[in-house]
Amino acid sequence: MSHAARRLAAAIFTFLISAGACAAVVATNTEYGNIDGREATRALNVTTRGTVTDLNITVEFSKCDDPPIGPTGTRCLGTGSPFENEFSLRLIGPNGESVELVDAFSTYTAGAPNSGAGRVSVTFDDEAASAAGPRVREGSFRPARALSAFDGMDMFGSWTLYLRDFGRGDPLEFFSAQLDMAFEPAPVPEPATLAMLGLGLLGLGAVRRKN
């Protein structure tokens, strides 16, 4: 096979591989926020086109008794109860679909004095072995509602992490979020283009044999 034919075959092979399912971190947000007795949102902008087949989200946060631990803190400083039950987290898709990750007053329970977990990284994953709760802790857990609600939708666009803290004095603090997706890429090139590549490869092979 000629050099040009080999290059064309490699291009077709690369396309066929890329046409399969992919999994990747598709968006992140690291805008720190002290969300004490209020609500806030963080945008997770996805610039890739494809169809969602599985979705996980990792949220790094803390829920401590006063005072706030701040953007570089790691452990709770207050000695009172952190009331880990009085906040909620929700993921909203570009199409308006909404899934509760943490249900206020249901997912977690109020903590005892000196029991705050501090800064934790929690991955919400439908396939996790256990559900989140009853106490805030680091790890991988099933969300309050199934993230499979997003399966089959177009991943492109602005996703929103909605955060709400229901009581003042023991702030919810946000550090980062990471959106992970398994997805079927949008079909590029179209089937007609792939057929033309195949015909070109056959033509190059014929020329090679003639020469």
- Torsion, CA 89, CA 74, CA 83, CA 176, rounded to 10: -10
What are the domain boundaries of the chain? Answer: 1-19+187-211, 21-185
Sheet holding 87-92, edge to edge: 39-46, 157-165, 87-92, 98-102
Decide if 47 contacts 185 (C-beta within 8 A): no
**What is the pTM assigned to this prediction?**
0.80
pLDDT digit string (tens) for 141-168? 999 999 999 999 999 999 999 999 999 9
Architecture of domain 21-185: Sandwich (2.60)
Question: Quick check: 17 pLDDT over 60?
Answer: no
The confidence score (pLDDT) of residue 95 equals 96
The confidence score (pLDDT) of residue 12 equals 47
